[in-house]
């Protein structure tokens, strides 16, 4: 599979109408005084493109719009962004799994327009983690579970470009022999991973934590819950503690790129995984386009 | 004063040795897949250049190095960065006050070198806030005061590019009729401003909060404490509560660009300022090069 990323740059008019132009992804397109880089002041979405089809694009664009509102950014012209994702995906050489990254920054400091782009590139190989599972550490996020209402200026629940602590948490996990992280609030609520949503199964009950905790409304988790409901199981958006995860029948971390990764250990303690169920869930996520 | 920013781009060799090349600041130099913009994964410093002289450059470079270590970034070649700041400042048309911004990102995703630059540009006009003072809101930072030891993966105390919540907090303040913010920890410690250090005076005692709280070691606060000590006053790095600020004889927010800004109200309650002392402090910060 040739590594031939496709880049579409946004041009946003004062009325918000946005047009996209194809550009060379190997060239520089961001100025050093763009607030996206000097302040991490912007938002993003990562959309899976499976067999050429962007997955859950409407849900991603709705969340992109909510993130923009939380940051007082111009509301995205979602019709134009949707076309750009579809066109960029179509312009990429065919591949089983691609990622489309949508970015919108506050633009050049002192300027009057946001900076934006859609970047489509091959997804990393998640095969081993999907099959063998992942070792996960439970780490403090150090915020209370009511941070969104108490302190909206902290932007919890927005998918911002200020992700340094997420990548630092993943480095911390790797340096401690793990693959990934589940964050918990200061008052004991399971939150999310640095770039994933938590899903736990207790017999025929499937649970993912609620966005009111200041976490993202997981696109892939929503798809997984719909699949579980389709099997006749019960699905719930509800609070979980780390101890709940330790007694669950199975736990997954879900995200648009890796899709579903079974948690095979928590803080070094082996946890059961269910290879047949994982295969069924992953097959659904890879084949059903919604 | 012409707006003629100067940009020097870093080229970091595998052994860390860094050379800088002058480039056009109006052109784009950052790729869309640079982790500095996609993840806010990098660090920065803002150095005041007063009457052509970079202020406290050694202290800024020491802090830049500590931030790099906290993020597992390559340790900066500080001699090369110091020369770049000095050369870029010298290349700028003379101005009373400039800012030099130093940025180091983790570089292009999948690449093998960091991205870095020094950008020198005219400082904004801080005259009104220096003279008339600022209205400040006390806002929750929602982290406990021991976050650095409890949760180092949250990167508190590093000056990272992931500043979206800092700019959001300032927007929140402005939308509530204030200029600036003082953050407090979940257990009541005064921390810092979104881009400033807190300094309080109680009679002849000057106090700034300690970096152990997960806040930056303020360059300008250090200079102000040295000035206060030179006046024969007592200086302390010690914990403060918001109530302490409410009974202080005077409070300032200090930063490299604005230097000293007297706090004239806290949460809407007027606070005394001391015009003569502010003039003396500001004169020191503007004229003594250290």
- Interface membership of A159 toward B (CB under 8 Å): no
- Interface membership of A282 toward B (CB under 8 Å): no
Rounded Cα distance, B20 and B6, in Å? 12
Predicted local distance difference test score (pLDDT) of residue A1? 40
In the stretch 11-30 of chain B, residues with CB closer than 8 A to chain A read 25-30
Q: What is the DSSP letter of A123?
A: P
CB B262 within 8 A of CB B250: yes
Q: Which residues contact B149 (CB under 8 A, 6 or more apart)?
A: none
Confidence grade of residue A290 (pLDDT, cut at 50, 70, 90): confident
With an 8 Å Cβ cutoff, are A7 and B35 in contact?
A: no
Q: What is the pLDDT of residues A219-264, one digit of tens each?
A: 999 999 999 999 999 999 999 999 999 999 999 999 999 999 999 9
How many A/B residue pairs have CB atoms within 8 Å? Answer: 184
Query: Which residue is listed with tokens 């991490």?
Result: A40
Q: Phi, psi (5° rounding) for residue A131? A: -85, -50
- Both tokens assigned to B90: 């010298």
- Interface membership of B176 toward A (CB under 8 Å): no
CB < 8 Å to A37, chain B: 30, 34, 36-37, 42, 103, 105, 161
Cα angle A19, A24, A25 (rounded to 5 degrees) comes to: 95
Q: What is the pLDDT of residues A87-120, one digit of tens each?
A: 999 999 999 999 999 999 999 999 999 999 999 9
Residue of B nearest to A120 (CA): B33
Cα angle A118, A170, A168 (rounded to 5 degrees) comes to: 85
With an 8 Å Cβ cutoff, are A164 and B162 in contact?
A: yes
User: What CATH architecture applies to the domain A127-287?
Assistant: Alpha-Beta Barrel (3.20)
- Interface membership of A288 toward B (CB under 8 Å): no
Among candidates B33, B37, B168 on the partner chain, residue whose Cβ is nearest the Cβ of A155: B168
Q: Where are the alpha helices (DSSP H) in A190-250?
A: 219-230, 242-247
Residue of A nearest to B120 (CA): A33
CB < 8 Å to A27, chain B: 28, 31
Choose, out of B32, B150, B166, the residue to mutate when testing the contact with A (most A CBs < 10 Å).
Answer: B32
Q: Is B276 exposed, middle or buried (0-12, 13-18, 19+ CB in 10 A)?
A: exposed
How far is Cα of residue A222 from the mean position of the Cα atoms in its chain? 12
With an 8 Å Cβ cutoff, are B151 and A160 in contact?
A: no
With an 8 Å Cβ cutoff, are A42 and B169 in contact?
A: no
CB < 8 Å to A168, chain B: 71-72, 153-155
Rounded Cα distance, B78 and B85, in Å? 10
Rounded Cα distance, A51 and A96, in Å? 5
Helix (H, G, I), strand (E, B) or coil at A121: strand
The candidate with the shortest Cα–Cα distance to A217, out of A78, A103, A66, A68, is A66
Q: Is B21 exposed, middle or buried (0-12, 13-18, 19+ CB in 10 A)?
A: exposed
Q: What is the DSSP letter of A160?
A: B
Among candidates A32, A163, A169 on the partner chain, residue whose Cβ is nearest the Cβ of B153: A169
CB < 8 Å to A30, chain B: 28-32, 34, 37
With an 8 Å Cβ cutoff, are B139 and A121 in contact?
A: no
Kindly give the pairing relationship between strand B115-122 and strand B97-105. antiparallel
Helix (H, G, I), strand (E, B) or coil at A241: strand
Residue of A nearest to B102 (CA): A38
Among candidates B27, B39, B168 on the partner chain, residue whose Cβ is nearest the Cβ of A153: B168
Cα angle A119, A123, A129 (rounded to 5 degrees) comes to: 150
CB B55 within 8 A of CB B45: no
Q: Which residues contact B146 (CB under 8 A, 6 or more apart)?
A: none
- Interface membership of A150 toward B (CB under 8 Å): yes
CB B62 within 8 A of CB B74: no
Q: What is the pLDDT of residues A139-166, one digit of tens each?
A: 999 999 999 999 999 999 999 999 999 9
Helix (H, G, I), strand (E, B) or coil at B55: coil
Kindly state the percentage of chain A with pLDDT values over 90: 98
With an 8 Å Cβ cutoff, are A38 and B154 in contact?
A: no
Residue of B nearest to A36 (CA): B37
- The beta strands (E) that lie in B17-163 are given as 18-23, 42-50, 53-54, 97-105, 115-122, 134-140
Rounded Cα distance, A16 and A18, in Å? 6
Among candidates A103, A152, A163 on the partner chain, residue whose Cβ is nearest the Cβ of B41: A163
Q: Which residues make up the CATH 3.20.10.10 domain(s) of chain B?
A: 127-287
Rounded Cα distance, B253 and B264, in Å? 11
pLDDT tens, chain B, 290 aa long: 446 899 999 999 999 999 999 999 999 999 999 999 999 999 999 999 999 999 999 999 999 999 999 999 999 999 999 999 999 999 999 999 999 999 999 999 999 999 999 999 999 999 999 999 999 999 999 999 999 999 999 999 999 999 999 999 999 999 999 999 999 999 999 999 999 999 999 999 999 999 999 999 999 999 999 999 999 999 999 999 999 999 999 999 999 999 999 999 999 999 999 999 999 999 999 998 77
In the stretch 248-267 of chain B, residues with CB closer than 8 A to chain A read none
With an 8 Å Cβ cutoff, are A30 and B37 in contact?
A: yes
The candidate with the shortest Cα–Cα distance to B55, out of B206, B223, B195, is B223
Rounded Cα distance, B56 and B222, in Å? 10
Cα angle B12, B15, B21 (rounded to 5 degrees) comes to: 25
CB < 8 Å to A31, chain B: 25-30
User: What CATH architecture applies to the domain A6-122?
Assistant: 2-Layer Sandwich (3.30)
- Is pLDDT at A288 greater than 90 in this prediction? no
- Is pLDDT at A3 greater than 70 in this prediction? no
Residue of B nearest to A39 (CA): B163
- Interface membership of B198 toward A (CB under 8 Å): no
Helix (H) or strand (E) holding A180: strand A180-184
In the stretch 35-74 of chain B, residues with CB closer than 8 A to chain A read 35-42, 44, 71-72
Q: What is the pLDDT of residues B22-36, one digit of tens each?
A: 999 999 999 999 999
SS3 content of chain A, % helix, strand, coil (to 5): 30, 30, 35
Q: What is the pLDDT of residues A21-55, one digit of tens each?
A: 999 999 999 999 999 999 999 999 999 999 999 99
The candidate with the shortest Cα–Cα distance to B186, out of A84, A91, A145, is A145
CB A244 within 8 A of CB A228: no
Q: Is A235 exposed, middle or buried (0-12, 13-18, 19+ CB in 10 A)?
A: buried
The rounded mean pLDDT for chain A is 96
Predicted local distance difference test score (pLDDT) of residue B3? 63
Q: Which residues make up the CATH 3.30.470.10 domain(s) of chain A?
A: 6-122
User: How far is the alpha carbon of A9 from chain B, nearest alpha carbon, in Å?
Assistant: 10
Predicted local distance difference test score (pLDDT) of residue B18? 98
Task: Region of B203 please: left (phi>0), alpha (psi -120 to 50) or beta.
Answer: left
The candidate with the shortest Cα–Cα distance to A165, out of B40, B144, B192, B45, is B40
With an 8 Å Cβ cutoff, are B142 and A119 in contact?
A: no
- Interface membership of A270 toward B (CB under 8 Å): no
CB < 8 Å to B147, chain A: 142
Q: In the sheet that B18-23 helps form, which strands lie side by side, from edge to edge?
A: B18-23, B6-12, B115-122, B97-105, B42-50, B53-54
Q: Where are the alpha helices (DSSP H) in chain A?
A: 35-38, 57-70, 78-91, 127-132, 147-150, 164-175, 219-230, 242-247, 275-287
Q: What is the DSSP letter of B193?
A: B
Q: What is the pLDDT of residues A66-94, one digit of tens each?
A: 999 999 999 999 999 999 999 999 999 99
Among candidates A32, A142, A162 on the partner chain, residue whose Cβ is nearest the Cβ of B151: A142
Rounded Cα distance, A276 and A111, in Å? 54
């Amino acid at each position: 599979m040739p590594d031939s990323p496709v880049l579409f740059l946004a041009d946003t008019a004062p009325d918000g109408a946005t047009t996209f132009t194809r550009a060379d992804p190997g060239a520089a397109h961001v100025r050093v005084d763009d607030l996206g880089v000097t302040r991490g002041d912007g938002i993003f979405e990562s959309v899976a493109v499976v067999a050429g089809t962007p997955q859950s694009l409407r849900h991603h664009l709705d969340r992109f719009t909510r993130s923009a509102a939380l940051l007082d950014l111009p509301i995205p012209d979602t019709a134009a962004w949707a076309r750009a994702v579809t066109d960029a995906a179509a312009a990429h050489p065919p591949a089983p799994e691609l990622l489309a990254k949508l970015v919108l920054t506050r633009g050049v400091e002192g300027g009057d327009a946001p900076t934006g782009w859609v970047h489509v590139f091959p997804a990393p190989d998640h095969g081993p983690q999907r099959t063998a599972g992942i070792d996960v550490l439970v780490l403090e996020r150090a915020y209370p579970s009511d941070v969104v209402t108490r302190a909206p200026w902290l932007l919890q629940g927005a998918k911002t470009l200020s992700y340094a602590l997420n990548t630092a948490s993943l480095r911390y996990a790797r340096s401690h022999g793990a693959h990934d992280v589940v964050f918990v609030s200061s008052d004991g609520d399971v939150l999310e991973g640095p770039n994933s949503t938590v899903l736990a199964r207790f017999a025929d009950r499937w649970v993912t934590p609620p966005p009111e905790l200041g976490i993202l409304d997981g696109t892939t988790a929503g798809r997984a819950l719909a699949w579980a409901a389709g099997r006749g199981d019960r699905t719930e958006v509800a609070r979980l503690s780390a101890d709940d995860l330790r007694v669950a029948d199975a736990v997954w971390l879900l995200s648009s790129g890796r899709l579903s990764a079974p948690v095979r250990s928590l803080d070094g303690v082996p946890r059961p995984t269910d290879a047949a169920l994982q295969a069924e869930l992953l097959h659904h996520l890879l084949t059903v386009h919604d």
